[in-house]
């Protein structure tokens, strides 16, 4: 849900982002179907990596879940007055493979939904399907196709990463737009008034895709390319896992010095986390994530119409949004803990909480793995 609690320069800060579908925007049947798809992906991913419990796969998944969580807090202004963000799915798929990436991105999305209300509970399956599953497989296939058998240190790999990230986030955005756009066609009352997401395909697709084909896609491309370039210098072993040269299905190849390598990644996440307050500079209403108050406020209705190709929103709040939007109240809605007056510090504290949660999960997984029969989980 959108949070209007924090302010920046005395103006409301909108800190939900495109692609995090809130509760009430998809019908229960759509949510159920996409939960089924997502659960199938989670089950397959867990089966594929279960043999990796004696390696550093689980700590690596934690690192990239934290990286994705932090990256998604950096909003960028998009055409039409909306905001968007990168996902980090490109580099996660490159390092972890599609199955590990599915788990990492899904974990990040679950933390956002449960603790911060960024994305709905009923729509968590849809958000994971769109960003974690579709994004991961798209990024992996594109990267493998362009990188081919090139040298791990080649610029071709960096280019492949950039294209993979760009295509992946746009594929996720397109799937999201379709899911939102089919709601008015399939679910409406006798008078034709939408029950859930209010805009049809011919409005939803352009509104979603223009921003992602430009700035959001570019952000994902830069992050993916930058991380691969960094790993080419810092830990080539992490890139070797998807080279197709020595990898067997479902195996992540560990580079030399795993503790130092993962330590560097955690430090990179921590450094990035310190800059998360910059994410609230891009204030604006995210398309397709309007609250009931937004849909009834004359000023925000004008903004919604402008961002939707000058198509006015429905005269009243769709029944599904009104009924389901309050289904779950997150402890720190909108990355704005109620006991923190400063929006900048509140945003930073939220980032610290999310990353800290994943650090603890990684340490717990390592401790359990060390006692796992027949294996020793290295950090």
Torsion sign, CA atoms 282, 287, 289, 292: positive
Q: What is the pLDDT of residues 100-115, one digit of tens each?
A: 999 999 999 999 999 9
Average pLDDT over every residue of 368-374:
57
Torsion sign, CA atoms 246, 252, 257, 263: positive
Residue 85 vs residue 39, higher pLDDT: 39
135: domain CATH number? 1.10.1760.20
Q: In terms of residue numbers, what domain contains 177?
A: 7-370
- Residue 186 inside a domain? The answer is yes
Tell me, what's the pLDDT at 168? 97
Token pair for 299: 């000023």
pLDDT at residue 75 greater than cutoff 50: yes
Give whole-number Cα distances, 251 to 135, 138, 244, 311, in Å.
20, 19, 11, 49
pLDDT at residue 376 greater than cutoff 60: no
Return the closest-CA partner of residue 132 out of 179, 85, 92. 92
% of the chain at pLDDT higher than 70: 82
Residue 249 vs residue 73, higher pLDDT: 73
pLDDT at residue 33 greater than cutoff 70: yes
pTM for this prediction: 0.88
- Residue 112 inside a domain? The answer is yes
Tell me, what's the pLDDT at 252? 42
Tell me, what's the pLDDT at 236? 85
Q: What is the pLDDT of residues 254-265, one digit of tens each?
A: 444 456 667 788
- Residue 295 inside a domain? The answer is yes
Most confident of 231-235, 249-253, 275-279: 231-235
- Residue 206 inside a domain? The answer is yes
Tell me, what's the pLDDT at 7? 41
Tell me, what's the pLDDT at 318? 95
Q: Per mean pLDDT, which range of 19-28, 178-187, 242-251, 365-374 is the poorest?
A: 242-251
pLDDT at residue 282 greater than cutoff 80: no
Q: Per mean pLDDT, which range of 26-35, 92-101, 105-114, 275-284 is the poorest?
A: 275-284
Residue 237 vs residue 35, higher pLDDT: 35
- Residue 1 inside a domain? The answer is no
pLDDT at residue 336 greater than cutoff 80: yes
- Residue 193 inside a domain? The answer is yes
- Residue 376 inside a domain? The answer is no
Average pLDDT over every residue of 67-86:
81
pLDDT mean across residues, the chain: 84
Average pLDDT over every residue of 349-375:
77
- Residue 375 inside a domain? The answer is no
Q: How many domains does the chain have?
A: 1
pLDDT at residue 52 greater than cutoff 50: yes
pLDDT at residue 247 greater than cutoff 50: no
């Amino acid at each position: 849900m959108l949070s209007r609690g924090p302010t920046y320069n005395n103006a409301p800060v909108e800190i939900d982002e495109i692609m995090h579908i809130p509760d009430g925007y998809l019908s229960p049947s759509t949510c159920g179907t996409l939960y089924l798809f997502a659960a199938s992906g989670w089950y397959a991913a867990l089966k594929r990596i279960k043999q990796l419990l004696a390696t550093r796969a689980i700590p690596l998944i934690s690192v990239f879940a934290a990286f994705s969580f932090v990256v998604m807090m950096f909003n960028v202004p998009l055409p039409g007055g909306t905001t968007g963000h990168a996902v980090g799915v490109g580099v996660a798929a490159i390092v972890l493979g599609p199955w590990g990436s599915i788990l990492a991105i899904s974990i990040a999305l679950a933390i956002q939904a449960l603790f911060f209300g960024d994305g709905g509970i009923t729509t968590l399956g849809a958000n994971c399907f769109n960003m974690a599953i579709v994004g991961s497989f798209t990024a992996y296939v594109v990267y493998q196709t362009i990188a081919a058998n090139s040298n791990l240190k080649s610029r071709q790999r960096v280019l492949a990463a950039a294209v993979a990230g760009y295509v992946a986030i746009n594929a996720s955005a397109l799937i999201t737009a379709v899911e939102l756009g089919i709601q008015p066609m399939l679910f409406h009352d006798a008078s034709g008034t939408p029950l859930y997401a209010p805009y049809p395909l011919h409005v939803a697709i352009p509104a979603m895709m223009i921003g992602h084909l430009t700035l959001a896609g570019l952000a994902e491309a830069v992050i993916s390319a930058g991380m691969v370039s960094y790993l080419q210098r810092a830990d080539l072993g992490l890139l070797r896992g998807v080279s197709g040269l020595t990898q067997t299905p479902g195996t992540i190849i560990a580079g030399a010095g795993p503790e130092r390598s993962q330590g560097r990644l955690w430090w990179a996440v921590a450094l990035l986390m310190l800059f998360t307050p910059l994410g609230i500079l891009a204030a604006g209403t995210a398309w397709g994530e309007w609250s009931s108050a937004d849909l009834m406020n004359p000023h925000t209705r004008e903004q919604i119409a402008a961002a939707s190709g000058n198509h006015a929103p429905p005269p009243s709040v769709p029944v599904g949004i009104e009924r389901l939007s309050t289904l779950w109240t997150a402890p720190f809605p909108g990355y704005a803990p109620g006991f923190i007056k400063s929006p900048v510090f509140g945003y930073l504290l939220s980032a610290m909480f999310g990353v800290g949660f994943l650090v603890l999960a990684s340490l717990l997984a390592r401790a359990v793995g060390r006692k796992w029969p027949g294996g020793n989980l290295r950090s």
